[in-house]
Amino acid sequence: MSGPEGVFDRLLPVGDAKTCCAALYESKAVEWLLDGQLHPGGEKLTLRLGELAGLRRGSRVLDVASGRGRTAQLLAYRFEVDVVGVELGSQSVAAAQASAAAAGLGSRLCFVEGDAEALPFEDQGFDLALCECSLCLFPGKRRAAAEMARVLRPDGVVAIADVTADAAALPAELQGAMARVACVADALPLEGYERLLREAGFEVVARERRDEALARMVQRAAARLRVVRMLPRAAGMTAEVTAALELMTHAEGAIERGELGYVLLVARRRGSAERSRRSNG
C-alpha cells in the first residue's frame, strides 16, 4: 500500500464536485490514510447492510459508486449474488475489473463507467441498489435516488450506508471544501435521507445508527496524520497536515455531540407488499 506522501496533493476540489471526489478516492494515498477502509465499519457493516436488505442467492445487485469493487466482490462472494458496479472514475473501473478477474469472480461481477445521476441501465433490471458512503457526495441527490428507483424491479430494495449531519449545528470548519470531500459538508440528517427516499417512491423498512463506526474511522485517520507530521519528507506539508488534523478534531467533537453520525438504511419500493398480496390472493 502507498505511503503517506502526496496525501494532500489533490485534496481540494478543482472542477465539479463529482469528478473531484471520484479522482480523490482513486488515490492510493487516501486509501493509506483511511487504512484501506473507504467507508466506516469496513466489511463488517457492508455485510450487515446486505443482511438488512435481505440479499438472497442469485439476486441482481447494482453497486452505485462502486469504487475499486471491494464491496461488489464481498457481496458476490458472501451472498452469491451477481453485481454490476457503476463508477465515475475510469481508473477505479479498470482496477475493479482486474481485481474481480484475479479473484475468479469475473462471471458474477461487471463494472461500468457511469454517473449515479444518470445510470446507464434500462428500467427495472435489478433486485437491489446499494450505495455505500457516496450519496452524501452527490450534488444531485434527488436525481440519484430517482435513478435507483427507476432501475429497480417493482419489488426492489435500496440499501444505503452514509454519513449523517446536522448542517445547522456543524462548526464552520466542517462546512468547507476539505469537509466536502471528507463526506461531511454535503451530508444530510437521517430524516433528510428518509425524506429523499420517500420522494423517490420508497418506504423505509430498516435503519441502524452506527455512529461509533464513523468515530473509529476518524480516530484512525487522525492517528495516521500524526505519523505523517513526524516524517522528514512531510516538512513541506506542515500547514496541510495541521489543517487536516484540525478537521479531524472538529469531526470527533461533532460526533460526540450527535451532530455527525453514520446510518444504515434499507427501503423498499412503495406498494411492493400490496402488489405481492394481490398477486398471491
Which residues, at least 6 apart from 53, have a Cβ–Cβ distance to it below 8 Å?
A: 128, 130, 157, 159, 206, 266
- pLDDT for position 33: 60
Position 215 scores a pLDDT of 94
Give 19 or 54, the one with higher predicted confidence.
Answer: 54
Determine the average pLDDT of the residues in 274-280. Answer: 42
The pLDDT of residue 46 is above 70: yes
Q: How far apart are CA 106 and CA 110, in angstroms?
A: 7
Percent of the chain with pLDDT strictly greater than 70 = 77
Q: Which residues of 119-131 are buried (b: 16+ CB within 10 A; e: fewer)?
A: bebeeeebbbbbb
For the cut 70, the answer to whether the pLDDT of residue 1 exceeds it is no
pLDDT tens-digit profile of 119-169?
999 999 999 999 999 998 898 999 999 999 999 999 999 999 999 999 888
Taking the CB of residue 183, how many other CB atoms lie within 10 A of it?
A: 25
**Which among 258, 266, 281, 278 is positioned nearest to 127, based on CA atoms?**
266
* CATH 3.40.50.150 corresponds to the domain 17-268: yes
Is 212 or 14 the better-scoring residue by pLDDT? 212
Does residue 217 surpass a pLDDT of 80? yes
What average pLDDT does range 77-97 have in this prediction? 95
pLDDT for the residue 37: 63
pLDDT digits (tens, 9 = 90+) for 178-213: 565 556 758 999 999 999 999 999 999 999 999 999
Instruction: Give pTM, 2 decimals.
Output: 0.83
What sign has the CA pseudo-torsion 96, 65, 132, 109? negative
Please report which confidence band the pLDDT of residue 242 belongs to, taking 50, 70 and 90 as the band edges.
confident
Compute CA distances 268 → 137, 155, 159, whole Å. Answer: 22, 7, 9
pLDDT at 5 over 90: no
Q: Where are the domains of the chain?
A: 17-268
Could you give the CA distance from residue 53 to residue 60 in angstroms, rounded to a whole number?
13
